[in-house]
Every structure is written in structure tokens, then in C-alpha cells.
Amino acid sequence: MQSQEPEVNMASNTGAQMATETRYLYLLRHGETDWNRERRAQGQQESRLTEQGRQQAHELGLRLADQHLDHIYCSSSLRTRETAELAFGSRQINIEYCDRLREIQMGSWEGRLYDDIRREDQAQFDAFWQTPDTFLVDGAETFKELQHRAATRVQEILDSSGHQHIAIVSHGAWIKSLLCAVEQRPLNQLWHPPRMHNCSLSKIQVDKLGKRTILTYADQPYTHPFFQENNA
């Protein structure tokens, strides 16, 4: 049975103490892993960066070399820790590891090939990729639970830290769920483009009143019309 999580609203935050300056969140997906390449469900199981993934992480660090970062929060998964170390290890920036930044828990799917999952459970395979708001597998998180975990952790980071430039190294579905909350986009559209490719950067501006604005989505300037069209 799905747990009843409170509705997530990341578009603004009027409950927290007002910030004194505009702040920025830099959301970074990990580099390519061996399980990415094999098309294997990762979830919260451990997989290592491929050589290409290591190169992606190194290039990410070069892209952000001139960007001041006050603090880095990183999923405790091996693939994100490897990415953060390769991208930022040479800089004097504290990296804080956190279990709540880990990828969606996928229950019995973890470690299995997606082709095998599709053959054995076509309905839930289709739900995961086409209607993620209906995804329900024993031992797995729902996407609503993932989104709540992501949004509440980010809010805690903002509330407890005075840092202006904050990087978060995490995972594709985790980042997508957070951006959906900021956009107020329905979860059934979570996988809509842009694709969250390996080592992509998404950037959120948080103004003094707590209003969130997506500036960059997976390395692309943010132009998605969903919020504007549906709130005109």
C-alpha cells in the first residue's frame, strides 16, 4: 500500500526564515556506470563508473572550475562518491555524504537487466517509464515517496545552511523528481524531455523569499512552458 505523503510544493517556501541573498542549487547527476551501460536497474545497489563515466566526471569538474561552490552534498552511493571525488577532489570544498540523496529504491528490480524485467513484469515496467505516478513494486519506493524525500532534504539543506552556492551530486530520477516539484509538473510527466544524461547540470535559483526558478535543466536553458501554460 502506498504511504500518504504530504503534497510537495517546491515552487516556493514561505515557512522558512527569509534568506538575505539569492542562492543557487547545482544538481549534478553521476557519470556513466557499468550498470548504465549494461541496461541494468541500479536503484540503491552499488555500481562503479566506467572509464567513460570517469572522463565525464573529470570534464564536469573542468566545466565548473570557475564556479564558486560553498559546499557539496553528495549521495552516499559509490557512483556519486566517485563522481564527486573526480570532479571536485582537487578543490578545497567540503563534501558531505547523505543517504537521502540516493536514487529511488527499486526493490526486487535492483541489479536485474531491464530486458528481463520487461519480459517478467510488462505492466510495471511500462508504469515506471510511462506513468511513473502509478509505479508500485514490492520493496520499492513510489515516485511520490522519492519526490518527498528529495524535496524535504533540499529544504533542510536550505534551512540549515547559509551557503549561497550549493552543489548536490545525485541521480537521474532523484533530480527529475525534484525538478518536477519546482515546476509543479505532474509526476506522470517525470520522464518527459530533457533527458537527464550522465554528469548533466541543472541549476535552480532560490530568491530571498524562497521562490524557486529553474535556470538550467540537464545542461539546457530552461524554457519548459508547463507551469506558465497551466497557471495563466
- Kindly tell me the burial class for residue 31, based on how many C-beta atoms sit within 10 Å of its own C-beta (0-12, 13-18, 19 or more): buried
- Asked if pLDDT for residue 125 goes beyond 50, the answer is yes
Report whether 72 contacts 94 (CB < 8 A): yes
- Asked if pLDDT for residue 93 goes beyond 80, the answer is yes
Pairing status of strand 201-206 against strand 23-29: antiparallel
Instruction: Give pLDDT tens digits for 29-58.
Output: 999 999 999 999 999 999 999 999 999 999
Report whether 56 contacts 32 (CB < 8 A): yes
Query: What is residue 3's predicted lDDT score, i.e. its pLDDT?
Result: 37
Q: How far apart are CA 145 and CA 138, in angstroms?
A: 14
Q: How far apart are CA 101 and CA 106, in angstroms?
A: 15
Residue % of the chain over a pLDDT of 90: 86
Pairing status of strand 71-75 against strand 165-170: parallel
Q: How far apart are CA 190 and CA 104, in angstroms?
A: 13
- What is the arithmetic mean of pLDDT over 131-152? 98
| CA geometry: angle 150, 62, 92, nearest 5 deg | 70
Range list of H helices, 114-196: 114-120, 122-130, 143-160, 172-183
- Active site residue: 82, 103, 110, 141, which one? 103
Closest CA to 128 of 103, 150, 151, 149: 103
E-assigned strand segments in 17-148:
23-29, 71-75, 95-98
Q: How far apart are CA 101 and CA 104, in angstroms?
A: 9
The reply to whether 30 belongs to the active site is: yes
Identify residue 59 by its one-letter amino acid code.
Answer: E
Average pLDDT across the chain, whole number? 91
Task: Count the Cβ atoms, other than its own, within 10 Å of residue 145.
Answer: 16
Instruction: Give pLDDT tens digits for 157-202.
Output: 999 989 999 999 999 999 999 999 999 999 999 999 999 999 999 9
pTM score: 0.90
The reply to whether 145 belongs to the active site is: no
From edge to edge, which strands make up the β-sheet containing 165-170? Answer: 95-98, 71-75, 165-170, 23-29, 201-206, 212-217, 220-221
Report whether 31 contacts 54 (CB < 8 A): yes
- Active site residue: 5, 7, 21, 30, which one? 30
Query: What is residue 14's predicted lDDT score, i.e. its pLDDT?
Result: 43
For cell 530486458, the residue is 115
Task: Count the Cβ atoms, other than its own, within 10 Å of residue 225.
Answer: 8
Let me know if domain 23-230 sits in CATH 3.30.300.100.
Answer: no
- Asked if pLDDT for residue 155 goes beyond 70, the answer is yes
